[in-house]
Amino acid sequence: MKNTQSSLAALTLGAVGVVYGDIGTSPLYAFKEVFASGHVPVTPDNVLGVLSLFFWTLTVIVSIKYVVLIMRADNHGEGGLMALLALASQSVKDNPRLRRTLMICGVFGVALFFGDGVITPAISVLSAVEGLEIVTPTAKPYVLPITLTVLVLLFMVQRRGTDQLGKFFGPIMVVWFVAIGLMGLVPIINHPAVLKAASPYYALHFGVEHYQVAFVTLGAVFLCVTGAEALYADMGHFGKSPIRVAWFTLVMPSLILNYFGQGALVLVNSKSVGNPFFLMMPDWATIPMVVLATAATVIASQALISGAFSAAKQTIQLGYLPRLSILHTSEYDTGQIYVPAVNFALLLGVVLAVGIFGSSTALAAAYGISVSLVMVITTVLTFFVIRYGWGMPLYLCLAATGFFFVVDVSFFASNLLKIADGGWFPLLMAAALFVILVTWKDGRSLLSAKLRKDALDLKPFLESVLAYPPVRVPGTAVFMTAEAGVVPNALLHNLKHNKVLHENNLFLTVQSQEVPRIPANRQVEITPLGHDCWQVILNFGFMDDPDVPRALQQITSQGCELDPMKTSYFLSRDIVVPTIGDEMAPWREKIFAQMHHSASGAASFLHLPNNAVVELGSKIEI
């Protein structure tokens, strides 16, 4: 019992450090942005109405939608948009058209997530460093250089991984939440009437009396829940209980206290609305709080960057991105990875965002639109999971998701008003990435169709070859092929040029399944073809590490001896040549051909030993 409690405490501490960094730093900018545009006059009724909106937004979207509903829709214990997408697509697998529609929606959601990955570090770190302006106005010219320096250093250390830094994340974020809660408590004690905002009456009154302004205000109010999707995305790392315990015992109370404290301060002094977070504290605490806030925003950014690496790997496994170089940064945790291409792309996007917008207020206009649309997509996918995957009654499914759908669409519609002021930035990035993802998927389908059309059936081919067998040389040859049951090009080239066949031959196909992980004892399917030849299929989940040599160790128990020192891997390196046709637009074919050319080698992605790989090239027109 004691071990269970200590394990829960450790996981809860870890969840505070990783899961709640983004939503935990939103008090730096969320409340002030409601009044920053000047649309909402600073009056007692408006302040109470806005605080009520904050309170009930956190309650409805985070506590009820994510903690109570969405976290129940786990995919073998894993969460996140990719896991939910796989679950939803499996639920409607008997309806190909609907399945494809859901896949397109989900993939666009993934593209939006990467757009959010650019805005979050930029606005979080920038809003923290802007606290220096409270200390002295002369610090204003240095805010951007300091912000860019912190962000560049953050992305530079990604190669080292978070194995060592991760143990400090939890305690620092605990200090952060305790600090912001205590900061808010003092103004609340001095002006306890602000607690009336916990009543939904003030939110409804604000909405009815100022319905046009209230609708515009929703876009800024939504900033208080950006990062809520991390509760679901990181569920596989920490489990449901630690995430729920951390939310209800520490995170939510601290956020509510801080927001209400900011409101109490503004009720007493309306001029403090410019930056109520830092103006709540005494002068001596401002610099230490700026340092702590910067550390908290770096941790929040780190968690999102790590999530982007994991999402990229999952997207590759599901076939929507080409193979990218993936480096493991921990000897013990296979989930800790570093993807250089994604890291560079995020850094470039973050620097552009900071340079283009220049302040947290300007960035707030760009923030929220992508997250709100992701939440809409999440709600839609959840409906199909509980309706078709779980078989729940239609009325119950509509009741469970319909209310949240209306709430999510309302926030998204309000955020649409910010497109001209900056919302175009994450949408443009998401649209560009979506085109790339879909182009790669469609291009791979065309390439596979072309290979199938020109391919020979494996079993009859082997029978004809072995009727007059070539020289059999010692060792084992593993021929990689994208399609099971067809003759690999590498085998044809080997017979043509070397005129030999190995003693043992494996025809290996690696397949990615729409589940997070597949147990090692279920990864291998082997079929004897006779004459010491075998058809082997390796199945990996989209969160598995596709280590082919390790997986092949299992086949020795099935009659096929495999000596790693006498095994060679034969791969076909296809060169795609775009041609004029009706299958795909020429510009998309060119993009696909370039992506195919730039993809990292299958050898490194599949963990094949470099000194045992033979690559044979061929050209394919699509």
Asked whether residue 57 is domain-assigned, the answer is yes
Q: Are residues 409 and 465 in the same domain?
A: no
Residue type for position 530: G
Asked whether residue 450 is domain-assigned, the answer is no
Q: Are residues 427 and 459 in the same domain?
A: no
- Could you tell me which of 570, 94, 86 has the C-alpha nearest to residue 319? 86
Q: CB neighbours (10 Å) of residue 218?
A: 22
Asked whether residue 449 is domain-assigned, the answer is no
Q: Are residues 207 and 299 in the same domain?
A: yes
Interacting residues of 440 by C-beta distance below 8 A, sequence separation 6+: 319, 320, 321, 322, 592, 595
Q: Are residues 437 and 481 in the same domain?
A: no
Asked whether residue 448 is domain-assigned, the answer is no
pLDDT in tens, 454-510: 778 888 999 898 888 888 889 899 998 888 888 888 888 888 888 889 988 999 999
pLDDT in tens, 503-534: 889 999 998 887 778 888 888 888 888 888 89
Asked whether residue 120 is domain-assigned, the answer is yes
Q: Are residues 154 and 263 in the same domain?
A: yes
Asked whether residue 374 is domain-assigned, the answer is yes
Report the half-sphere exposure of 333 (CA within 13 A, side-chain side): 14
User: Number of helices (H) and strands (E), helices first, in the chain?
Assistant: 27, 8
Q: Are residues 309 and 231 in the same domain?
A: yes
Q: Let me know the angle formed at the C-alpha of 113 by 180 and 322, rounded to the nearest 5 degrees.
A: 140
For residue 86, give the CATH number of its domain: 1.20.1740.10
pLDDT at residue 89 tops 80: yes
For the chain, what is the domain count?
2
Burial of 48 (0-12, 13-18, 19+ CB in 10 A): buried
**Distance between CA atoms of 49 and 70, rounded to whole angstroms?**
28
pLDDT band with cut points at 50, 70 and 90 for residue 1: very low
- Could you tell me which of 495, 501, 505, 548 has the C-alpha nearest to residue 524? 548
Interacting residues of 522 by C-beta distance below 8 A, sequence separation 6+: 539
> Roughly what angle, to the nearest 10 degrees, separates helices 44-57 and 252-268?
170
pTM of the prediction? Answer: 0.82
Asked whether residue 319 is domain-assigned, the answer is yes
Lowest mean pLDDT: which of 132-141, 366-375, 486-495? 132-141
pLDDT at residue 175 tops 70: yes
Residue type for position 201: Y
pLDDT at residue 585 tops 50: yes
pLDDT at residue 167 tops 50: yes
Q: What pLDDT score does 2 carry?
A: 47
Which residue among 442, 477, 493 closes a domain? 442
Work out the average pLDDT over 372-384. Answer: 91
- Structure-block tokens of residue 316: 């590759």
Asked whether residue 447 is domain-assigned, the answer is no
E-strand ranges in 227-358 read: 327-328, 337-338
Q: Are residues 345 and 432 in the same domain?
A: yes
Q: Which residue has the tokens 């009741």?
A: 399
Domain that holds residue 488: 455-621
Percent of the chain with pLDDT over 90: 26
Which residue among 380, 413, 442 closes a domain? 442
Check: CB of residue 319 under 8 Å from CB of residue 195: no
Instruction: Identify the three-state secondary structure at position 348.
Output: helix
Q: Are residues 407 and 476 in the same domain?
A: no
Which residue among 409, 442, 475 closes a domain? 442
Of residues 380 and 131, more confidence is placed in 380
Lowest mean pLDDT: which of 171-180, 411-420, 464-473, 553-562? 553-562
pLDDT band with cut points at 50, 70 and 90 for residue 266: very high
Q: Are residues 484 and 423 in the same domain?
A: no
Q: Are residues 473 and 391 in the same domain?
A: no
pLDDT in tens, 538-562: 999 887 888 899 888 888 766 677 8
Q: Which helix (H) or strand (E) holds 71?
A: none
Lowest mean pLDDT: which of 169-183, 349-363, 594-608? 594-608
Q: Are residues 262 and 308 in the same domain?
A: yes
Q: What pLDDT score does 581 carry?
A: 67
Q: Are residues 337 and 282 in the same domain?
A: yes
Check: CB of residue 120 under 8 Å from CB of residue 300: yes
